[in-house]
Amino acid sequence: MCVGIPMQVVGAEDGVAVCEGRGRRERIDLALVGEQPAGTWILAYQGSAVRVLTPDEAFQTAAALDALEAVLAGGTNVDAYFADLIDREPTLPEHLRGKPP
């Protein structure tokens, strides 16, 4: 399975960043997102940063990956990984609101 991983930039120069996330350290190509300062969160996919993330997006993405790992290990209750979704009604993104089904 190929999925993007949230990683935090530790340092960068010449279009390549050293990033850490999910227990590993990797060199990530920044060509798609431009130079990023240390501390920036990115979504890394196959050695490239494909998007800059807010810290909240990075946390939520990591929690979703944790839920996936729990399910693959036989877990059945993933509510704790999606605390931001519990006890709220889902809403459509702005660009989909008001369009007929």
pLDDT in tens, 11-52: 999 999 999 999 999 999 999 999 999 999 999 999 999 999
CATH classification of the domain holding 23:
2.30.30.140
Query: Is residue 87 a part of any domain in this protein?
Result: no
- Of 24, 65, 68, 69, residue with least CA distance to 47: 24
* 59: region left, alpha or beta (phi > 0 left; psi from -120 to 50 alpha): alpha
> Would residue 95 count as lying in a domain?
no
Cβ 94 vs Cβ 32: under 8 Å:
no
Please give the tally of structural domains in the chain.
1
Any domain includes 91: no
What are the Cα distances from residue 6, in Å, to 23, 28, 43? 11, 12, 5
Structural domain contains residue 46: yes
pLDDT in tens, 44-87: 999 999 999 999 999 999 999 999 999 999 988 888 888 878 88
Between CA 62 and CA 56 the distance in angstroms is 10
- The answer to whether residue 93 sits within a structural domain is no
The model's pTM: 0.79
In a domain, 97, yes or no: no
Is 51 inside any structural domain? yes
pLDDT at 9: 98
Residue range(s) defining the domain that contains residue 42: 5-72
What is the residue-averaged pLDDT of the chain? 91
